[in-house]
Amino acid sequence: MTTRVQFYHNAENPLALACELTQRAWTGGRQVALRLPDAASARALDQLLWSFDQLAFIPHVMTDSPLAGETPVVIGRAESAAWPHEDVLVNLADDVPAGFERFRILVEIVGQDEARKLPARARWKHYKERQLPLQAFDAVRREAI
């Protein structure tokens, strides 16, 4: 199995986009791992998943929860490599996720600030050098680029 990599560039609010993509994936029957750079952003995403859509419920827990193996959406910090499933990995950290090759799909969300674009370019190059299938989308216009 080859990991497919999707980059969502120019995201106005990367956490909100992560919620939207997670909702879409989960309602489509996928399992999602959300990789955040630190504990504070992981907590922020946890709270946002509860409130971003008043009509949606996305079952989710942190990776250290005893229910992580039974829950379709898990949230973890970048240094956490113990994901309970290997379907979709959403990366919101600036580095290449260790073990990303185990996942069917890797989603990279890139914000609008230059501080996020530079490491994203390095990740794109990393995946391209490994000849992985790459797709790029403009997160604002919601179209392929």
pLDDT tens digits along 16-61 = 999 999 999 999 999 999 999 999 999 999 999 998 888 778 999 9
Domains of the chain plus CATH, in order, are 4-144 (3.40.50.10110)
The CA distance from 139 to 145, in Å, is 10
The CA distance from 94 to 16, in Å, is 17
* Each residue's pLDDT tens digit, 77-86: 998 768 999 9
Residue of 125, 102, 103, 133 lying closest to 5 (CA atoms): 133
Task: Compute the CA torsion angle 123, 138, 63, 78 (nearest 10 deg).
Answer: 30
The predicted structure's pLDDT at residue 94: 95
The answer, yes or no, to whether residue 141 has pLDDT greater than 90, is: no
The predicted structure's pLDDT at residue 81: 64
